[in-house]
Amino acid sequence: MAIAEKRTFVYGDFIPSAKGLEKLSQLMPPGYSPYAIEILREFSASEFIGKVYQLSRSLRWEILAPEDAERVDWYRTALKRPQKVKFEMQSSGQWTVQNVRIESDPQGRYVAVGLSNEKHTV
């Protein structure tokens, strides 16, 4: 018998600045978020690292590849000043990006983010 792998995802949108004017979710169908994050490692209830997925035009989830991320404002901002980027998580408010980096697994390379919702982050 095959055992299904349990994977946990959160959904939302990255906001590259306090203004949040460039939110991709404004172009999405109602109820959809442009990004999903698969939680890979949890350090506490308020900190985790996850693999980033993006919703394609055909409404399918695809792993955010590093070469695709380079064309996205929030990613370019996060490379220089990660704490300036927020992740507006569905039903959980804004989380601060602590770091962004490239990781890999058997499926290939992907973008990973560290998020925190603690109030003392800079």
Domains in the chain: boundaries: 9-116
pLDDT at 60 over 80: yes
pLDDT at 121 over 50: no
Helix (H, G, I), strand (E, B) or coil at 84: helix
Is the separation of the CB atoms in 81 and 97 below 8 Å?
no
Condensed to tens digits (0 to 9), the pLDDT of residues 66-92 reads 999 999 999 999 999 999 999 999 988
| pLDDT confidence band for 21 (50 / 70 / 90) | very low
